[in-house]
Structure 1
C-alpha cells in the first residue's frame, strides 16, 4: 500500500484527488490532506494537516514534521493581480514546500497547472494544443508562473533520483468545492437562477436565458476538464511508469461549443434560448430592467493586446499576414457578468431568492464573475489534444454536459442555487 500528500486539498481539483484516493483504502493507506483550513469531512485514513504555503520553508518544515509519502500531488494556486506577482508567489510556494519536506520515501511528484501553459489567456493559440508546443518566450510574452514551477520541479527531481515528476494541463475546470467559487459552473448556475427570478416577475410566457458571452465564441470550440475525471487521471498517472517525467493535457475527451451547451443550460434551469438572441436590433428578453442585448450598461469589449500565442509558430505554419497573428484576441461580453452582478435589481433578486429558498447568502458576492466573463467572452477556439495521454494508456472520458449537470446537482444540494426541476 502507498501513502500520498495532497497540497491544496480544499480546492476544486485537490478536493477531488483526496476523494478519489480515499475510495481505495486497500491501495492508499494514508492520505495527508494539506490546506490552510479544513472544509470537508474525511475518512479515517485521511489526515488533515494545516499548512500556510505563504510561510517560509523552515516554518512549513515545523508544521509538517512526520509527514512523508511516496506520492505527492501539488494542486495549490494563488491568484494575484499581475503575472509577475503570480510568477513570484506561486513559484515560491512550490519551492518552499519542496524544500520543507522529508523526501526519503518520495517516488513521484505530480504538479497540477493549466492551459495558461499555452497562453490561452493572451489570445488565439495554435490549435489543437499539444504538449510538445514551444513555451512562450519571456519577453516578449509576460511571465508564466507555470514555466517557473515546472522548471523548479524538473530541477528538484533531477537532483534527487529516483524521484520522478508528472505535470497536468487541465482547462476550464468543471467542479465544486465548499467555499471555493473560482468555478465556471457556479457562476453560470447563479446567473441562470437569478435571471429566472428576474424574468418570472415580468409575467412572460417563456423565461429566456440570454448567453452573456461572445456571439463569436458561441459557435467556437472549447475543451473542458471534469474535476473528478482529472482526479482519476492523477491517480493513474502518478503510479504509471509511462507517465514518469511527462506532462499531459487532461480534458474530458470531447470538444464542445456553447451553441450545444447553452440551450441545455437553459432547459436545466427551466428556460429557453430566444431564436434571435444575438440580434443587435432587439431589446428586451431576459430580465434585470429590460434590454439585455448589447445594453450600454452591461456590454463589455476589450482587446487583449500584444502578440497572440499562435505568433510563436506563425512562420513555421504559414500564418504570417493571415490576420490571426496581427489581429490578436478579443474579449467581448454581451452581458458582462461583472457589471450585471453589481446592478441593484440583480442584487435584490438574489436576496429575495436566497431568502425564499434558504440558500447560502454570501455565495453571490464571492462568485468569480470576471473569470466567467473571460471563459465565455473569448473570440477564439481552445482545443487541447488528448493523443499523448491516450498513447500512454489513459482511456478515461467524461461527457462535458454530464459533468456540468452533475455539478449543478451538487450546487443544489449545497444550497448554492435553488432546485428548479
Structure 2
C-alpha cells in the first residue's frame, strides 16, 4: 500500500481556490506528492464538486470549537500541510472579522498542533489579499479614514496604521513559528468557479450580465470613470494553487509573503467588452451622467435569477449565493489603480503567469460545466 508523505488539509475546499488547489494536488506532477488531500467545508459537498478530488470530505464549521474538536482528531496525526483559504468576512466590521477568523484558525491549530501528541504539521499556507496595501476598505467607518499605499504594491510595504484582518492573521501565525513554517499569498481579485466563495467577483458580473440579457436591459458599468479607465490586475485560481504548492515545498520560501497575480493588467472598459462578447450583449459605453444604484437595483432581481435557474435547469442557487454586489461596488468605486508587483515571486523562483482574458473565458466555461450558469 502506497504511503503518502504529504497530507494536505484544505480549509475552505469548496471555494474557488479550494477547487483549484484540490485539483492541482491530485495531479501526479504536483510538487511534494503524491498527496493525500483532506477537505473541510461548513456545508455538505456541492453537486459541482467531484468527490474524487479529496480522500476525505469533512463537513465542519471550524468557528465552532466543539465541532472542530470532534471532527479533526482522526486526521491530527497525519496532516503535514494546512492550506487556509477561508476568511470569515461576512461582517463589514473589520474588528469582528478579525475575531471570527482568528478563532477559526486557533480552533484548527488547537487540534492539529497544540493538543496533538505527535503533530506532523510542517507548513501553513495562508491566503490573503491586497487589503494588505489598501486597508480595511469594506469597513464603513475605517474606509473613510484610510489612505492606501500607492501602486504598484510590493510585499515589503509597511503596514497601514489601521486594524486589518490580514495583519492580525499574519501575527497569529508568527506566534506559532516554532511549530511550523508558513507562507502568505496575497491575491488580487480571484478568477475561479464556485458558488461557495463569499467574494466571487467574476460570478457576480456574470450574474449581472445574464440578468441584463434576460430582461433586455442595458449592461451598464456600475463603477466610476476612474476605475473604468485605470489599470487593474487579477489572480487566476489555478495560478494561486500553483504558487501555494511551490511555496509549501521550498526551504527558501519559508515564512515569506508573496503577491500572486496573473502578471498582466487590464482595464475594466476592455473587460466589459469581453463580457459583452461572451454573453452576446450590446456594449454600452460608460456614461458619467448615468447615475444608478447598482446594489439596490440588484436586490430586486432575485426572481429574475430564479427564472434563469428554472428555465435552464441550473443548480438551485439564490442570487445572494452567487453574487456579492456590495463588495464589488466598493471595488468599482475606488480611486486608485490596482496593480501588484510580482518581482519578489520571480526572484524566489516562481515564474507562473496567466492571461487574464483567457482566464475569464476559462472560468466562465467551467461555471457552465458545473451547471451554475446557462450553457448558452
Superposition TM-score tier, normalisation by shorter sequence: 0.7 to 0.9
Give me the whole-angstrom Cα distance separating, in 2, the residues matched to 1:99 and 1:374.
36
C-alpha displacement of 1:134: 0.5
- Please state if 1:150 is matched with 2:170: yes
Counterpart of 1:69?
Answer: 79
C-alpha displacement of 1:181: 5.2
Counterpart of 2:319?
Answer: 364
Counterpart of 1:306?
Answer: none
Tell me if the contact between 1:171 and 1:251 (Cα under 8 Å) persists in the aligned partners.
yes
The change in CA–CA distance for 1:247 and 1:212 in structure 2 (over 3 A counts) is same
Larger Rg: 1
- Please state if 1:92 is matched with 2:103: yes
Counterpart of 1:14?
Answer: 18
Tell me if the contact between 1:25 and 1:45 (Cα under 8 Å) persists in the aligned partners.
no
Q: CA RMSD in A?
A: 2.2
Tell me if the contact between 2:224 and 2:288 (Cα under 8 Å) persists in the aligned partners.
no
C-alpha displacement of 1:96: 2.3
Structure 2 SS opposite 1:49: strand
Give me the whole-angstrom Cα distance separating, in 1, the residues matched to 2:106 and 2:373.
39
Larger deviation, residues 244-253 vs 179-188: 179-188
Matches within 5 A, 1:190-209: 190-199=207-216, 208-209=218-219
Give me the whole-angstrom Cα distance separating, in 1, the residues matched to 2:202 and 2:190.
9
Give me the whole-angstrom Cα distance separating, in 1, the residues matched to 2:269 and 2:53.
45
The change in CA–CA distance for 1:117 and 1:181 in structure 2 (over 3 A counts) is closer
Tell me if the contact between 1:169 and 1:247 (Cα under 8 Å) persists in the aligned partners.
yes
Give me the whole-angstrom Cα distance separating, in 2, the residues matched to 1:233 and 1:362.
31
Give me the whole-angstrom Cα distance separating, in 2, the residues matched to 1:25 and 1:350.
40
- Which of 35, 46, 50 lines up with 1:41 in the alignment? 50
Give me the whole-angstrom Cα distance separating, in 2, the residues matched to 1:99 and 1:50.
18
Counterpart of 1:55?
Answer: 64
- Please state if 1:115 is matched with 2:127: no
Unaligned runs of 5+ in 2: 138-142
- Which of 4, 16, 33 lines up with 2:8 in the alignment? 4
Give me the whole-angstrom Cα distance separating, in 2, the residues matched to 1:229 and 1:59.
32
Q: TM-score, normalised by structure 1?
A: 0.77
Q: TM-score, normalised by structure 2?
A: 0.86
Give me the whole-angstrom Cα distance separating, in 2, the residues matched to 1:8 and 1:72.
11
C-alpha displacement of 1:61: 3.4
Tell me if the contact between 1:125 and 1:382 (Cα under 8 Å) persists in the aligned partners.
no
The change in CA–CA distance for 1:124 and 1:413 in structure 2 (over 3 A counts) is same
The change in CA–CA distance for 1:377 and 1:20 in structure 2 (over 3 A counts) is same
Structure 2 SS opposite 1:43: helix
Structure 2 SS opposite 1:239: coil
C-alpha displacement of 1:168: 0.6
Give me the whole-angstrom Cα distance separating, in 1, the residues matched to 2:267 and 2:320.
28
Tell me if the contact between 2:211 and 2:305 (Cα under 8 Å) persists in the aligned partners.
yes
Q: How many residues align?
A: 350
- Which of 188, 191, 194 lines up with 1:174 in the alignment? 191
Counterpart of 2:120?
Answer: 105
Tell me if the contact between 1:229 and 1:398 (Cα under 8 Å) persists in the aligned partners.
yes
Could you list the per-position Cα deviations for residues 349-384 of structure 1 after superposition, in whole angstroms to 9, with x for gaps in the alignment? 434433332234533232211122122222221111
The change in CA–CA distance for 1:213 and 1:25 in structure 2 (over 3 A counts) is same
Counterpart of 2:308?
Answer: 353
Tell me if the contact between 1:6 and 1:32 (Cα under 8 Å) persists in the aligned partners.
yes
Give me the whole-angstrom Cα distance separating, in 1, the residues matched to 2:59 and 2:348.
35
Structure 1 SS opposite 2:258: strand
Structure 1 SS opposite 2:124: strand
